[in-house]
Structure 1
Amino acid sequence: MDTDFHQILLAYWERFLFVVPKLLIALVLLAIGLFLAGRLSALFSRRLHRRSADPLLADFLTQISRWVLSLIALLVALNVLGFSGVVGSLLGAAGVSAFIVGFAFKDIAENFLAGAILAFNRPFHIDDTVQIKDLVGHVVALNLRTTLVRSFDGKHISLPNSMVLKEPLTNYTRDGDLRSDFLLTVELGADATPDQPTHIILNYLKTVPEVHTGAKAPYVNLEKAALTTVDLRVYFWGDSDDYRRGVLQLKSRLMQEVKQELVGAGFQVPALAG
């Protein structure tokens, strides 16, 4: 009995000694392959960023190249270990599909494909201000599985690419300008007409450098007229590259300054709303 156990241990030891050199070679090749994958993807990234005007697509393609090169290094290591049959099945179309579904799971594969569509369709660029459902923030990065968005209060939120692709997406900064509006209620005097506060508002807005003129000049609509008051909605265009300053803060400032102009002209403004 002891002799049989000793022979079994000896057989396992001989197999271990036979596998060790291959294992060491495979580990060395895998380490070299991963190192080269990092260096080559970094070189690829620098060239892409120099030649491409879209850093979002460049970053996404860089991530894909790093994963592809790392996968090649893994397949080479498996081949050295003698798993040529496994490598051959993975390289086949059915094998690759089974590998993606079995190893990465369905949601990961779905998010990866959604990320590829987003990278090539480019509904947004880095630093664009977007709204997805109730979330509004700046696009920070598009990764293989997630889209990273930084909200205005500094939170970094990772959204699954499949959700970003499926949900309605509003891009506030793509065209570089955006129309905003606000509503104010103006009390008219005995002889005043809605045209008078309207002229005061438009004349003031023409003096604000941040407000666009020409084809996108501001205008005022009369939305409601009561016995002594009128509701005027003021529309104006501003730069949206910096959404917080060019849209939100500009709107807040104009609401206050327009009210001051009307009060200075003798009108009362009992209500003001965005």
Structure 2
Amino acid sequence: MLTDLQRVLNTYWQQFLYISPKLLIAVVVLLLALLIAKRLSSLLGGKLRAKSHDPLMADFLTRFSKWALILAGVVLAMEVVGLYTMVGGLLAGAGLSAFIVGFALKDIAENFLAGVVLAFNRPFRIHDTVQIKDLIGKVEDLSLRTTLIKTFDGKHIFLPNAMVLREPLINYTRDGYIRQDFLTTVELGPDGNSQHAADLLLHYVRANQHVESGEPHTPYVILEKAGATTADLRTYFWTYSEDYRRGTLELKSELMRGVKDRLSEQSYSVQTVAQ
């Protein structure tokens, strides 16, 4: 038994001595690939950011080039050792190659391809406010696998690129402007004339410096419902949407409070001011 064990260990040692130069070369190749990938991707990223107006595309291409070079180095190192051809041949001969690779890398490949489509299609830019399903927030980053969104309550959510590509996406800031509205229920005087109240509403909204007044983004007020002594007036206004929180939440709240105060000053009884 000891003789057999010694013979097996000696065989393994001889094989190790035979393959050790290849292993050393493979390690050197892999280290060089990592170094070259880091340097070239940094160089490419710097040039892309300097010439491109789209940092999202520049960052994505930088990451893509880095990982492509690393993958090429890994494949080359496996070729040097002889593992790539051997393992590939064994798996192909067993009929397991397509199944194992396809099953293990399905989600990774799907999200990677979705990331490529998102990077070139560009349904959003960095810092755009988007909604995907029930999630609303600013786009912070697009990687090879995920899209990073920061919600308004400070949460960082990493969404798979495939989900972002598959689900309907609402971009609130791509156009630069967004329209908002709110409803004001006013109790009218004995004459039942709602036009004066509507004019007061419109004048107040137009006076706000954050409300757009130029064509085609002019504010307006419509009579949505008229009762015997009340009128439902809906006010529509446009605002610049780069800062979505300011343009939709804070500004609307400010206008709704101000409208109620202004109408009350003019002896109107405001029943409700709602979205």
Pair 1:175-2:210 in alignment = no
Q: 1:103 to 1:168 in 2, by over 3 A?
A: closer
Please give the per-residue CA displacement for 1:125-145, whole angstroms capped at 9, x wherever unaligned.
Answer: 000000011110000111111
Mapped partners of 2:16, 2:24: distance in 1: 12
Identical residues among aligned pairs (%): 56
Provide the residue aligned with 1:92 in structure 2.
Answer: none
The letter for the 2-side match of 1:273 is A
Q: Give the 3-state SS of the residue equivalent to 1:118 in structure 2.
A: helix
Q: Give the 3-state SS of the residue equivalent to 2:144 in structure 1.
A: coil
Per-residue deviation at 1:185?
0.5
Please give the per-residue CA displacement for 1:11-68, whole angstroms capped at 9, x wherever unaligned.
Answer: 1111112222221221122122112111111111111111111111111111110111
Mapped partners of 1:101, 1:87: distance in 2: 13
Structure 2: give runs of 5+ residues left out of the alignment.
90-96
Per-residue deviation at 1:98?
4.4
Structure 1 stretches of 4+ moved >3 Å: 86-89, 97-104
Q: TM-score, normalised by structure 2?
A: 0.92
Mapped partners of 1:124, 1:26: distance in 2: 42
Q: 1:83 to 1:103 in 2, by over 3 A?
A: farther
Q: Give the 3-state SS of the residue equivalent to 2:209 in structure 1.
A: coil
The letter for the 1-side match of 2:227 is A
Residues 176 and 240, structure 2, Cα contact 8 Å, conserved in 1 = yes
Q: TM-score, normalised by structure 1?
A: 0.92
Residues 101 and 109, structure 1, Cα contact 8 Å, conserved in 2 = no
Q: Give the 3-state SS of the residue equivalent to 2:207 in structure 1.
A: coil
Mapped partners of 2:103, 2:58: distance in 1: 26
Q: Give the 3-state SS of the residue equivalent to 1:214 in structure 2.
A: coil
Per-residue deviation at 1:5?
2.6
Residues 180 and 252, structure 2, Cα contact 8 Å, conserved in 1 = yes
Structure 1: give runs of 5+ residues left out of the alignment.
90-96
Please give the per-residue CA displacement for 1:161-184, whole angstroms capped at 9, x wherever unaligned.
Answer: 111111111100001110000011
Per-residue deviation at 1:84?
5.7
RMSD: 1.9
Provide the residue aligned with 1:209 in structure 2.
Answer: 209
Provide the residue aligned with 1:264 in structure 2.
Answer: 265
Residues 118 and 165, structure 1, Cα contact 8 Å, conserved in 2 = yes
Per-residue deviation at 1:87?
9.2
Q: 1:167 to 1:88 in 2, by over 3 A?
A: same
Mapped partners of 2:220, 2:2: distance in 1: 99
Provide the residue aligned with 2:94 in structure 1.
Answer: none
